[in-house]
C-alpha cells in the first residue's frame, strides 16, 4: 500500500540493512540490486514512482526538497537558489563507463541545475544552469525511452543512473521518468545527499541503489568551495538514512590539499557510523570549472595523496571499491 502524505513526512530512523545480491533469471547475476531493499517490497516500481511523482508535483507549490528549504512556489514562477522551474530539463542521456565498476556500463540521464555551487564541478555550466538542456516531451520523450529500452534489452547497460547537476531538485520529473522505465532495469540515484526528510520520503523504496557524495569533511571547506552551510550535519543525516533503505555507495572525490581536512575526517566518520557501506574514493581530480579560485585546486590530483588517501581508508577499515 502506498504511504500516506503523513507518513511521507515522517523520518525513518537510520539503520543498516543487511543486503546481498540476487541472480536475475533473465540477465545473470545482478550485482546492483539488494534483496530486501528497494521497491521489491512494495510491488511495481512503476506504480510506486508514479504515485510519488504525483505527490511531488503538488509539492512544487512550496518546495522543500533540498536543505536550502526555500519554500518557493515553483509553479507560480518563483525560483530558489537552485533556479529550477517546475519541469526537469535533461542535458545528457547516454551510455557511460566512468562510474563504479559493478554498475557499469550505465545509461546516465543527467538533469540540469544543482542546489550546490561546487567550484570544482566536473560538468560545469549544465550543472549550475537549470535552464540547460531540454524537457523531453512527446517524440523526444518516446525516443529517450526507446533508447533506454534498447540499451537494456540488448545487454549494453547494467543499470540506469539518474544524476545531475542534482536530480533532487527535479524530483517530480525524475520520478515520472522512473515510472516509465522497464521494471527489470536496476535504477541508481546519484545525489549530493543535500536533500531533506521530504525528498527522502519521496525517494524511499524507489531505487535499487544510491551513489551519494560525501564531498567535504568539515563545514568550513564546504562553505568556502561549495557555498553551503551546515554541510556535514545535513549530508551525514541523509547518508545514514539512505544506508537503511537501499544499497549505498558513498563517493568522495579526493581534492588536492584536502587529505587532512576533508578525507581523513570523512573516512573516520564513515568508519564509525557507516562501516558496512561501500566507499568509492575517486582520485582523478581535474582542475576544471572554477577550481582556479582556490590555490590548492589549480592542479590535478597528486599520486602521492591518492596513495596516502587509500592507506587512510584501509586503516579505517572502509569497504573501498572502484
Residues that bind ligand SF4 (CB under 6 A): 63-66, 68-70, 72, 74, 80-82, 84, 115, 169
C-alpha separations of 74 from 50, 53, 81, 236 in Å: 20, 15, 12, 28
Q: Please tell me the distance from the alpha carbon of residue 303 to that of residue 283, in angstroms, as a whole number.
A: 8
Q: In terms of CB distance, is 70 or 271 closer to ligand SF4?
A: 70
By DSSP bridging, strand 247-253 and strand 278-282 are: parallel
Closest CB to ligand SF4 among residues 81, 149: 81
Query: Which is nearer to ligand SF4, 17 or 79 (by Cβ)?
Result: 79
Q: How far is the CB of 62 from ligand SF4 (least distance, A)?
A: 9
| Least gap, CB of 135 to ligand SF4 (angstroms) | 17
C-beta of 122: minimal distance to ligand SF4 in Å?
21
CB of 202 to ligand SF4, least distance (A): 12
User: In the complex with ligand SF4, which residue's Cβ is closer, 24 or 78?
Assistant: 78
Scan for cell 546492483, then name that residue: 32
Instruction: Name the residue number minimizing CB distance to ligand SF4.
Output: 80
Nearer to ligand SF4, 241 or 285 (CB): 241
- In the complex, the smallest distance separating the C-beta of residue 42 from ligand SF4, rounded to whole angstroms, is 25
From the DSSP assignment, how many helices (H) and strands (E) are in the chain? 10, 10
Set of cell numbers at residue 2: 502506498
Is the distance from CB of 67 to CB of 234 less than 8 angstroms? yes
C-beta of 132 vs 169, nearer to ligand SF4: 169
Closest by CA position to 305, among listed 254, 250, 252: 254
Nearest distance from C-beta of residue 128 to ligand SF4, angstroms = 13
Closest to ligand SF4 by CB, 74 vs 247, is 74
Contact 285, 296 (CB under 8 A): no
d(CA 284, CA 303): 9
Provide, rounded to whole angstroms, the least separation between the CB of residue 274 and ligand SF4.
25
Angle at 56 between CA 51 and CA 62, to 5 degrees: 155
State the Cα angle at 203 between 129 and 20, rounded to 5°. Answer: 120
Amino acid at each position: 500500500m502506498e504511504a500516506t502524505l503523513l507518513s511521507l513526512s515522517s523520518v525513518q530512523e537510520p539503520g543498516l540493512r543487511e543486503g546481498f545480491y540476487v541472480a536475475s533469471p533473465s540477465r545473470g547475476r545482478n550485482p546492483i540490486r539488494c534483496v530486501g531493499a528497494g521497491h521489491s517490497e512494495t510491488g511495481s516500481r512503476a506504480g510506486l514512482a508514479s504515485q510519488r511523482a504525483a505527490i511531488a508535483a503538488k509539492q512544487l507549490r512550496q518546495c522543500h526538497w533540498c536543505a536550502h528549504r526555500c519554500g518557493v512556489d515553483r509553479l507560480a514562477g518563483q525560483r530558489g537558489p537552485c533556479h529550477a522551474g517546475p519541469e526537469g530539463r535533461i542535458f545528457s542521456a547516454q551510455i557511460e563507463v566512468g562510474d563504479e565498476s559493478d554498475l557499469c556500463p550505465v545509461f546516465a540521464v543527467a538533469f540540469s541545475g544543482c542546489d550546490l555551487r561546487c567550484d570544482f564541478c566536473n560538468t560545469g555550466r549544465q550543472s549550475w544552469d537549470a535552464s540547460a538542456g531540454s524537457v523531453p516531451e512527446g517524440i523526444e520523450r518516446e525516443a529517450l525511452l526507446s533508447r533506454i529500452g534498447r540499451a537494456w534489452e540488448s545487454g549494453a547497460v547494467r543499470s540506469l543512473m539518474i544524476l545531475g547537476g542534482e536530480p533532487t531538485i527535479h524530483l517530480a520529473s525524475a520520478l515520472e521518468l522512473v515510472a516509465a522505465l522497464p521494471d527489470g532495469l536496476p535504477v541508481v540515484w546519484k545525489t549530493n545527499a543535500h536533500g531533506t526528510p521530504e525528498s527522502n520520503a519521496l525517494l524511499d523504496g524507489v531505487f535499487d541503489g544510491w551513489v551519494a557524495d560525501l564531498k567535504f569533511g568539515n563545514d568550513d571547506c564546504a562553505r568556502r568551495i561549495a557555498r553551503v552551510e551546515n554541510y556535514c550535519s545535513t549530508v551525514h543525516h541523509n547518508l545514514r538514512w539512505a544506508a537503511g533503505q537501499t544499497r549505498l555507495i558513498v563517493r568522495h572525490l579526493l581534492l588536492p590539499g584536502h587529505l587532512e581536512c576533508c578525507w581523513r575526517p570523512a573516512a573516520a566518520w564513515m568508519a564509525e557510523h557507516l562501516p558496512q557501506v561501500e566507499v568509492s574514493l575517486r582520485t582523478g581530480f581535474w582542475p576544471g570549472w572554477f577550481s582556479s579560485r582556490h590555490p590548492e585546486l589549480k592542479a590535478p590530483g597528486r599520486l602521492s595523496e591518492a596513495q596516502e588517501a587509500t592507506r587512510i581508508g584501509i586503516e579505517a577499515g572502509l569497504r573501498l571499491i572502484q
